[in-house]
Homo-oligomer: A and B are copies of this chain.
């Protein structure tokens, strides 16, 4: 393949200013303050731990940022092959004038200081967004987030609902819901009212999506009749201990989860919100892992589990992310058949060039072009948008060059326009931003 062609497409795509449709940015502190915020990203701590660094060394209480960075830099020697470390090096080159190929024990200190100085500039947040070509950023908001004190036209609220669905047995979660809505969620009807209040609150603050991550075995079905639901709700959330492993308790808890999930989907329909499904994560598989470095997956999952949901809510758009590369063909096929299913980016363990490339090829070959959200950064700090989107742009450019320009004889402008649509246009139309 002609590298010139790839590079030409990629640099053209790089001029497009983007909306990032899924991140974990804290809008009250969106950018990093030191390299510790950057090297503290779970990708680096978990990989350093995996490569041999004890968790105690990484997560020592009271560790000052510079010492922490110094320690993690020692771990990088085993990680320079990873794409995640290439993000790190690329952002340091882009933003902090770093000019080496690797961050090592002999060059990190000056980088640390230069980065700290840069990040201390009062407009660093604006500079970083500007240099990254990002103008709006979706958030991941707790259901009881007041959504005040930040610019919701730049940082777009997204209602994250994992706690409601999967931790509703937890009294703290129920108390948070009662506090946020003024309604004690002691039965299905009251819970529905409370969730309605959340949607009203988020709606007033410009919410553009609802989102949830789901374990591989989750199979939502239409809830039971109201009277059965009252009984199951009582059994699941009032009567049983939250962690009971009794099979009856487990079954009613599952029914309760499905009821809450289904209720949220109903409100997505009412409030005309897309419902982001992030399918396939098992939480706390490695409980002794570092913070956020404990989750994994089971590839034995199928979108057939969502058949009832997709059929019951034709008016709701479901941007679907799958954790396992093995699920991509199902995602392609379900998006090709169901009008309300759209492909959503490349998530977590599938977010490496080997899988992005294969998944992008299949999507561009078989899913309508208006139903593909190319990418989101999933970042916690603004500095990561640039290298992550850049990785995606390179994979996308390579597929456009090979599959469309070379193999199908498209002209470059048409290929470029397809790339622009999945990078930006569809984010606007699908999320109505």
Task: Give me the interface of A with B, judged by CB distance under 8 Å.
Answer: 1, 3, 46-47, 49-52, 78-84, 86, 101, 282, 285-289, 293-304, 307, 310-311, 314, 324-327, 329-330, 332-339, 349-350, 352-355, 358, 361-362, 364-371, 394, 403-404, 406-408, 410, 414, 418
Contact call A293/B337, Cβ cutoff below 8 A? yes
Chain B residues with CB under 8 A of A414: 101
CA distance A303 to B326 in the complex (A): 14
Contact call B304/A339, Cβ cutoff below 8 A? no
- Which partner residue on chain B sits nearest A334 by CB separation? B296
Contact call A311/B286, Cβ cutoff below 8 A? yes
- Which partner residue on chain B sits nearest A368 by CB separation? B51
Contact call A337/B289, Cβ cutoff below 8 A? yes
Contact call A352/B337, Cβ cutoff below 8 A? no
Contact call A297/B333, Cβ cutoff below 8 A? yes
Contact call A335/B50, Cβ cutoff below 8 A? yes
Chain B residues with CB under 8 A of A50: 335-339, 368, 371
- Which partner residue on chain B sits nearest A282 by CB separation? B304
Chain B residues with CB under 8 A of A101: 410, 414
Chain B residues with CB under 8 A of A299: 302, 326-327, 329-330
Chain B residues with CB under 8 A of A335: 50
Contact call B300/A406, Cβ cutoff below 8 A? no
Contact call B304/A296, Cβ cutoff below 8 A? yes
Contact call B302/A298, Cβ cutoff below 8 A? yes
Smallest distance from the beta carbon of A336 to chain B beta carbons, Å?
Answer: 6
Chain B residues with CB under 8 A of A369: 78-81
Smallest distance from the beta carbon of A3 to chain B beta carbons, Å?
Answer: 7
Contact call B366/A408, Cβ cutoff below 8 A? no
CA distance A101 to B326 in the complex (A): 34
**Chain B CB within 10 Å — which of A299, A304, A367 has the most?**
A299
Contact call B336/A46, Cβ cutoff below 8 A? yes
Smallest distance from the beta carbon of A216 to chain B beta carbons, Å?
Answer: 8
CA distance A388 to B148 in the complex (A): 56
CA distance A418 to B86 in the complex (A): 15
Contact call B334/A325, Cβ cutoff below 8 A? no
- Which partner residue on chain B sits nearest A51 by CB separation? B368
Given contacts A82-B368, A84-B366, 6 further A-B contacts (CB under 8 A): A81-B365, A82-B366, A286-B310, A286-B338, A299-B329, A354-B362
CA distance A304 to B299 in the complex (A): 9
- Which partner residue on chain B sits nearest A83 by CB separation? B365
Smallest distance from the beta carbon of A120 to chain B beta carbons, Å?
Answer: 31
Smallest distance from the beta carbon of A378 to chain B beta carbons, Å?
Answer: 15
Smallest distance from the beta carbon of A330 to chain B beta carbons, Å?
Answer: 6
CA distance A408 to B339 in the complex (A): 38
CA distance A361 to B370 in the complex (A): 30
- Which partner residue on chain B sits nearest A349 by CB separation? B333
- Which partner residue on chain B sits nearest A53 by CB separation? B339
